[in-house]
Structure 1
Amino acid sequence: MNPSGDISASASPSPTPSPSRSYPLSEAPRTIPAVREHTAERGPGWRPRDGYRVVVGDGELADEGRLIAGELGLAYAGERGDRRAGDVRLTLGGGAGAGPESYTMTVRGGGVEISGPSDAGVFYGTRTLKQEVRDGGTAPEGVVRDEPAKAQRGLMLDIARKHFTASWIEDRVRELGDLKFNQLGLHFSDDQGFRIESDSHPEVVSEQRLSKAEVRRIVDLAAERHITVVPEIDSPGHLGAVIAAHPELQLRDAAGQAARGAVDISRADAATIVDELLDEYAGLFPGGQWHLGGDEYRALTVADPEASYPQLAAAARKRFGSGATVADLATGWLNDRAETVRGHGRTPRAWNDGFYRDASVRAAEDIQVAYWTGKEIGARQPAEYLGAGRKVVNYNDEFLYYVLGEPQTFVYPTGQRIYEQWTPRVLRGTEAVAERYDGQILGGSFAVWCDLAGAQTQDQVAAGIRLPLRATVQKLWDPDAPELSWAQFRRLADRLG
């Protein structure tokens, strides 16, 4: 990345020929995701050359300017009002009604101007330019107007069951940024491990873990690329690593049998330790989203939870009244954890099977539904959540779940299947929900789960998710049928790297 400096005395490059009718009409750029609109013009287009510079119209765009200058081998000249041949100019501003992540890129007269209503939009414009000129390519003359269909475009990594190195995660952040993803989920606590250093409860942390310094570097790198890191401490199930250090918290049935990974939510000290961890990590992850988990609580996978877990039934009645059930108590737990993260300015989400149909206590309205499956006990059709007005994020396990070792009925998802069959409205199975619900579907997330952690190495995971990630973001950016065939899209992905 080139440092900022005063290059005003450097010689201007030879002027690029002005557009004329001797040039054919330009063709739309080929990028991933594809740009949504391109107005063709006649002209030579633009490609980087020695002596060209990147300038910004606002100091807020300095990070974006320095990044693209370094990537393209150009000089970063900072805020400048003068214009030179070959300039790449980044500016803030946008037309009425343009979304916050929209941008306009104009290639004309030998220069490039990228503008957007926010620095995120301008950043995405620089990603388009970077792809266009890769390996000696030319940014085509004309005007690109582009914006995503969905506001949440994510990759979730299960770093609890398998330790991934910080450098590997940083590589994924760079990859996500270039593809215009804007979220990275980190599921860092589960039965098999707790993978981030803790000051409040060091006893729960696994030997293989990320240090807080490493996480801060990941978070900072992500922020530079307009990616929010979404942490998840799943509860009240999937807490085996915490229970290993605090066995007194483990849920047991009437016969004394332990429920794997589940804490006893009738105990106040179970809530205390989870809240202390949530409070601690709120300072490490500054983004606006938080995943609370809430799925697969084993007390609610038996035929008669009240008979099997009388202590939970008693706690439910004490808190919510004589007719209350274990599902009511579990919903109360979810709402309490939502209140904890809400106190840090976070918007909570939870897995869809953590919302219970028959509970009289209702999950707080602002908890987003992370819809992943229709296979779990109690899982309901997406239309039930959408019809109740809830906002949903698509994690459809039929298309978007990359489960190491392919246990149960899982198979590794293919980019082709996502590209040809999935859209954000396909929340469960292969059927799309009604179009009237589209506005409640906030976006989607591809997910890497490490159930059989040794089944693949880090490098194999990166290779395995490469094409599925590109297909996923294409459909989140524009859910309409793509212009390119799968074979064409794959060749483009191979060319762009």
Structure 2
Amino acid sequence: MAGGLVAALGVGLGVWASSDDDGTAPAGSAASRQAARTPGDTGAAAAQAPTPTPTRSYALSTTPRTIPAVSAHTPARGPGWKPQSTRRVVVSDAGLADEGRLVAGELGLTYAGEKDDVRAGDLRLALNDDEGANPESYTMTVRGGRVTISAPSDAGVFYGTRTLKQEVHAGGTAPEGVVRDQPAKPQRGFTLDIARKHFTAGWIEDRVRELGDLKYNQLGLHFSDDQAFRIESDSHPEIVSNPHLTKAEVKKIVDLAASRHITVVPEIDSPGHLGAVLAAHPELQLRNASGVATRGAIDISKDDSADLLDDLLDEYADVFPGAYWHLGGDEYQALTVSSPAASYPQLAAAAAARYGSGAGVADLTTGWLNDRADTVRAHDRTMRVWNDGFFRGTSVKPASDLVVAYWTGKEIGARPPVEYLSAGRKVLNYNDEYLYYVLGEPNDFAYPTGKRIYEQWTPRVLRGTTPVPAKYDAQILGGSFSVWCDLANSQTQDQIAAGIRMPLRATSQKLWDAGTPPLTWTQFTALANRLG
């Protein structure tokens, strides 16, 4: 009779734990204890079995709140999961050891390595064989007091650990259920101008950790400009400014970034923005027909100019081993005058000699970028060029594999984004209307707000405030929020970190999911403040 009453309570009131997905009862339930008896357990032995006690009834879980928000969550009933020092992180593949050790240290767990056994409270990291899946996708299952994060790649597993880290922040609980998550865009970046302003290695490392937790996967370093050249050089030490980063410091940054699945993307801008290099090589400075030096511009008619740049590109390819490279290409001052051929006859002559009598200075400039691309391509890199480094109507065409880094539509001869997209180019979004944090706010720039990015910007808004047609979405690889240090002393490092905090979070959300965010800006800000 007592057994019948218990069964009735279990069905009628829902106080018993539900079965696991395979149909077996949870450990400790009346049904599981019954199933554990041997066939001979009858009579007195059965009568001596302990009387089961009801377990707690759990409400259906709610979607975790994270930055960026997860793509999908299937709720379930259960206690969820919280980290404890006695709990383990185990991996199903030795290649996940770095991810396992990192999250174990962050959550105060014990890293146990590659294990097949299952214990209460385990956090298990695993690779799956989901062919064709987004390599950065992951599935996180919280069930039965354990967590499993599985993905097609170690990057996906890492992103799953970022979600878990946010869920349990400040004593929180990872909700029962299954998270299925993946980014909308494959390239999610932050660009830092370390040429105009020196940033300490420690400050950059702090940003790397912040970017990793927000699921960014690129850090751009613009380290050469008119004001300074900021990384140690062995091939041309004469061009290096003080203060600067040593190669040892850069290696530490690159290694830390790699541990967060972030690729560091270097930029040596040319043929403009080379003032610091030219200060040590005035013989390569571009001069107009009157002999007046053109600020920041190298004379691309000279073979020694190409040799110098190629030396640097080859040298830093070893310093930055990632898959991407930024060639620059913007604001070459020879092309901002009314008649480039008249102002710079040596460039016009070189263009005609190399490409024929109909070629002009824009052809020579395009050829320069193609040649630098050949140098970098030999190191197996994918390259990007600022949109104003592509020109209309040239006989020399830019290499077909160059990605357009679209930042402005304000330059002379500005071309709208659709021109590049309709020609089949892939594009990265650097829209200066939303994503440029320019120190001192010169030239009508205003410090961007996270609210405006969160509520108005999407990766399809490449220029101004108007999105390109949806049919081009797949060609837009992602985007980058950027800090440019035009008036370097306008803010300290700490002020910059505080100023970009919410814009970085808003950009992360919109690159991970370009749709309407699930939270209002007020709710999003409160969440960011809670997560730290």
The bucket for the TM-score relative to the shorter chain is over 0.9
Q: Distance in 2 between matches of 1:427 and 1:45?
A: 41
1:350 has 2:385 as partner: yes
Q: Distance in 2 between matches of 1:288 and 1:322?
A: 38
Asked if 2 retains the 8 angstrom alpha-carbon contact of 1:398 and 1:428, the reply is yes
The residue type paired with residue 159 of structure 2 is Y
The residue type paired with residue 453 of structure 1 is A
The aligned runs of 1:258-407 (5 Å cut-off) are 258-407=293-442
The residue type paired with residue 297 of structure 2 is A
Q: 1:119 is matched with which residue?
A: 154
Asked if 1 retains the 8 angstrom alpha-carbon contact of 2:330 and 2:387, the reply is yes
Distance 1:394 1:16, change over 3 A: farther
**Which of 216, 222, 226 does residue 191 from structure 1 map onto?**
226
Q: Distance in 1 between matches of 2:90 and 2:414?
A: 52
1:156 aligned counterpart, secondary structure: strand
The residue type paired with residue 278 of structure 2 is I
**Which of 446, 455, 459 does residue 424 from structure 1 map onto?**
459
Q: Distance in 2 between matches of 1:370 and 1:67?
A: 33
Asked if 2 retains the 8 angstrom alpha-carbon contact of 1:234 and 1:294, the reply is yes
Higher mean alpha-carbon deviation, 20-29 vs 473-482, is at 20-29
Q: Distance in 2 between matches of 1:318 and 1:426?
A: 41
> Alpha-carbon deviation of 1:358?
2.2
Q: 1:157 is matched with which residue?
A: 192
1:220 has 2:216 as partner: no
Q: Deviations over 1:224-268 (max 9, x none)?
A: 000000000000000000000000111011111111000000001
Q: Deviations over 1:380-403 (max 9, x none)?
A: 100000000000000000000000
Q: Distance in 1 between matches of 2:266 and 2:466?
A: 29
Aligned length: 483
Q: Distance in 2 between matches of 1:21 and 1:363?
A: 66
Q: Distance in 1 between matches of 2:410 and 2:526?
A: 35
Distance 1:16 1:146, change over 3 A: farther
> Alpha-carbon deviation of 1:376?
1.1
Q: 2:123 is matched with which residue?
A: 88
Q: Deviations over 1:48-95 (max 9, x none)?
A: 112001000000000000000000000000000000100000000153
1:79 has 2:100 as partner: no
1:283 aligned counterpart, secondary structure: helix
Q: Distance in 1 between matches of 2:180 and 2:101?
A: 23
1:390 aligned counterpart, secondary structure: coil
Higher mean alpha-carbon deviation, 153-162 vs 358-367, is at 358-367
1:144 has 2:185 as partner: no
Q: 2:96 is matched with which residue?
A: 61
Identity of aligned residues (%): 75
> Alpha-carbon deviation of 1:96?
4.4
Give the gaps of 5 or more residues in structure 2: 1-26, 33-53
Q: Deviations over 1:253-295 (max 9, x none)?
A: 1111111000000001011000000000000000010000000
2:319 aligned counterpart, secondary structure: coil
Asked if 1 retains the 8 angstrom alpha-carbon contact of 2:131 and 2:152, the reply is no
> Alpha-carbon deviation of 1:207?
1.3
Asked if 2 retains the 8 angstrom alpha-carbon contact of 1:156 and 1:448, the reply is yes
Asked if 2 retains the 8 angstrom alpha-carbon contact of 1:21 and 1:42, the reply is no
Asked if 1 retains the 8 angstrom alpha-carbon contact of 2:426 and 2:475, the reply is yes
Q: 1:4 is matched with which residue?
A: none
Q: Deviations over 1:309-363 (max 9, x none)?
A: 0000000000000000000000000000000000001111100000001211110
1:242 has 2:263 as partner: no
> Alpha-carbon deviation of 1:427?
0.2
Q: Distance in 2 between matches of 1:92 and 1:473?
A: 25
Q: Distance in 2 between matches of 1:182 and 1:16?
A: 44
Q: Distance in 2 between matches of 1:37 and 1:128?
A: 12
The residue type paired with residue 171 of structure 1 is D
The residue type paired with residue 402 of structure 2 is I
* Greater C-alpha radius of gyration: 2
TM-score by length of 1: 0.96
1:188 aligned counterpart, secondary structure: strand
TM-score by length of 2: 0.90
1:479 has 2:514 as partner: yes
Asked if 2 retains the 8 angstrom alpha-carbon contact of 1:20 and 1:43, the reply is no
Q: Distance in 1 between matches of 2:375 and 2:407?
A: 24
The aligned runs of 1:126-141 (5 Å cut-off) are 126-141=161-176
Q: Aligned-residue CA RMSD in angstroms?
A: 1.3
